[in-house]
Every structure is written in structure tokens, then in C-alpha cells.
Amino acid sequence: MEKRRLAILTSGGDAPGMNAAIRSAALLALSHGLEVLGVRQGYVGLIAGDFVPLSRADVTGIVRDGGTLLGSARCLEFQTVAGRNAARARLAEAGITDLVVIGGNGSLTGARALTAPEELGEQVLRVAGVPASIDNDVGLSGLSIGVDTAMNTIVDACDKIADTASAHGRTFIVEVMGRDCGYLAMSAGVAAGADLVLFPEAGRSEEEIVEVVVSTISSARRRASPPKRVLVLKAEGVRISPERLKTSVEERLAALGQTGALVETRITVLGHIVRGGRPSAFDRVLAGRLGFVAVHALLAGESRVMAAWAGASAPPPGAHLSPGDPHCWVVTLDAVLAETQRLLDGTSPVVRWRNRVFAEIEGVLNPPA
Ligand code: F6P
């Protein structure tokens, strides 16, 4: 019988809940008699052969910890064939036959490249991905690990900002992470009751962005007496700096002769705060389930797949429902990465739908004069 040894790695930007995924993947594999190893620092550790045994004791109590027990890294060397050859050699030396990769777009791209048949040859190596990225930019998974915690962190910050903003009658621009995807800003914006969300997928020019902020402020000034506060949630991927946006908006309002409430603008950039902290209960459950589904897929002999959070819709081509969890799909990495590309270039129906919904929300929140 084939002796199986399973390794787990976390890679790319860490996300709250990664530890819960490590735990569930490790416990399930151990319970099936596999030896389990952790890889330190993502693909950097894979290339260096930096493996540590993972026992039940090692993963006990880690569900509540943010970050990742194994460490993470962004690894340029892994994008080269030489880097991947080195990683495959280390895996073969250590007798590792199965690998769980927990991470976002870059990490899953790495997992697919690592097991590309033309590079893998005769080596036995199965890989299963688990989507983890606060940006929620992994295709075909309704949610990635870390999104819910990040959203809660943003909403908590915005609630606090709303207190001081209302006390002074000010406008606040709050910038949140989301390099290429505005999902966090959008969902947190809805939950925080923001007046406007700026996200890259809308494709607005700098001038249009300034204009929509100005019209949101003007509309709030007309509506409320006295006007309380305006909250603008801006995704990092919207390529105008918050400082430049503030200056341009204030100048434009001055040119329109607007003074007083809501004209004075302040900026808060939440940055890496959004990525840290104890994972929410939902993220722990999601991570636990996805970790389970990934290992179940490997145990069933599948490879080059990802465990995905299904939501309510039917499995897309290249996916099947997990036999162990009716809310999760097992999707091929090819299908995941193709849809991820469409999310990033704006051609995915999901992006089109989000654009439509937010255009409608803007009209509802800030009706024209
Ligand atoms: O993990 C994704 C992300 O949080 C992006 O939203 C952000 O632009 C990036 O990571 C920051 O990466 P780093 O921690 O390497 O600066």
C-alpha cells in the first residue's frame, strides 16, 4: 500500500482563519493514519525543505489565533521552473505525497504549477487548495477564509469613526485593503451604512471619482438638517490616494461655494489592521469545513482541485459537490484560476452584477436634487 505523507502550507497574505484550516486538515489526515507535516513560510519553506511534524497537540487550541502558525511569504523564486524543481525535490526526499495549500490567487497558481504534469513527470504528488484571502478574489468560492473577520474589523472601525464624524459633522474617507478587488469595501460598506463605496471594478476615472464624492456630500447636505456625517469607503485598489482625493474634493466643494458641515474631510487608512485579529466564529467554521473538504478530496485520490464555499447555486463546470459537505464544492484549479482572472479583468458575471447593484444603491442613497 502507498505510504502517504501530507504537508500543509499557508502562503501569500495571511488571513484570519488560516489556523483553523490547518487544524481541521491536520486532524482529518491524522485520523486517517497519514503522517502530517507543516511547511514553514509557504513556498519559501517548500523550496528550502523547511518541514515540521504536526501532531494533534501542535494544532490544539490554534483555532482562535489570527495569522498563521506556519508563517507565510510571497515567493518570487517559486514562479520559476528552477524554484519549483527544487520544491518537488524536497517533497520527494521527505516522502510527501499530498499537499494542502491554503492561500489566495498567487498561492493557488503556485499549487497548479507545482503539479503541472509536464513538470511533475512520474512523481506522486497530489495537491488541494483552500481559498484564504481577505480580498475575496478567489474565483468560484462564494467566500474565502478571512473575509468575514476582515469585514467585521472594518465595520467596527467605521462604527467608531461614525461617532466622531457625526460629532463634528465631517466627511470621512476610510481606505481598506483590496488590491484588485473591491469586495471588502463593498460588503463592509453595506454593513457599516456607508454613503458611498469606491471600488476598482467600477472603472471610474479620477475626475469621476471626485465628482461622485462631491455629489454624495452635496446630497447629504441637502437632505439632513443638520447634516450628520458622510462615510466614504474606498478600496485600496482605487488608484487615487486618499490624500489627493480629499484635497480634490475640498477644492471642488469650495469652487461650488459650499462651506460648513460635511465639507471638512478626514482620512483613515486601516491598512494591515484589517488582516489581523482573532478569526470570527464564521471564519473558523468556514475554514474547518474547507480544510476537511480539501483533505477528503486528497484521500479520494483527487488532485489539482480546490475546496470552495458553494453558497446556493449549482456547481459550475469542473466542479462537483463534496460528498462530505453539501455546502462545498470540489473545483478544479483550472476552473478556479480562470474565473479568478475574469474577476480581476471585470468580465465575470459576478463583477457585472456587483457593478449593477452598486450603481443602483448609489442612486437610492443619494438621489439627484
Ligand atoms: O492579502 C491581500 C492583501 O491584503 C491586499 O489587499 C493588499 O494589497 C496586500 O495583501 C498587501 O500585501 P503585503 O502584506 O505583502 O503588503
Q: Whose CA is nearest to atom 13 of ligand 1?
A: 13
- pLDDT tens digits, residue range 124-176? 999 999 999 999 999 999 999 999 999 999 999 999 999 999 999 999 999 99
CATH 3.40.50.450 segments of the chain: 5-146+279-344
Reference 311, options 326, 323, 290, 298; nearest CA is 326
d(CA 184, ligand 1 centre) in Å: 13
Q: Is 26 in contact with 36 (CB distance < 8 Å)?
A: yes
Residues labelled catalytic: 135
Give the CATH number of domain 150-275: 3.40.50.460
User: Per residue in 44-96, pLDDT tens?
Assistant: 999 999 999 999 999 999 999 999 999 999 999 999 999 999 999 999 999 99
* Residue 313 pLDDT level (bands cut at 50, 70, 90): low
Tell me, using a 6 A CB cutoff, whether residue 291 lines ligand 1: no
Please, which pLDDT band fits residue 324 given cuts at 50, 70 and 90? confident
pLDDT at site 311: 66
Which protein residue has the closest C-alpha to ligand 1 atom 15? 13
Name the residue among 222, 170, 216, 227 with its Cα closest to residue 189.
Answer: 216
The 8-class DSSP code of residue 278 comes to P
Ligand 1 touching residue 327 (CB < 6 A): no
CATH 3.40.50.460 maps onto the chain at 150-275
Give ∠ CA 81-36-105 in degrees, rounded to 5: 45
Domain 5-146+279-344 -> CATH class: alpha beta
CA of 215 to the centre of ligand 1 (A): 31
Tell which residue, 313, 307, 360, has the closest CA to residue 330. Answer: 307
- At residue 312, does pLDDT exceed 60? no
> Tens digit of pLDDT for each residue in 264-305?
999 999 999 999 999 999 999 999 999 999 999 999 999 999
Q: What's the pLDDT score for residue 1?
A: 65
Q: Is the CB of 175 under 6 A from ligand 1?
A: no
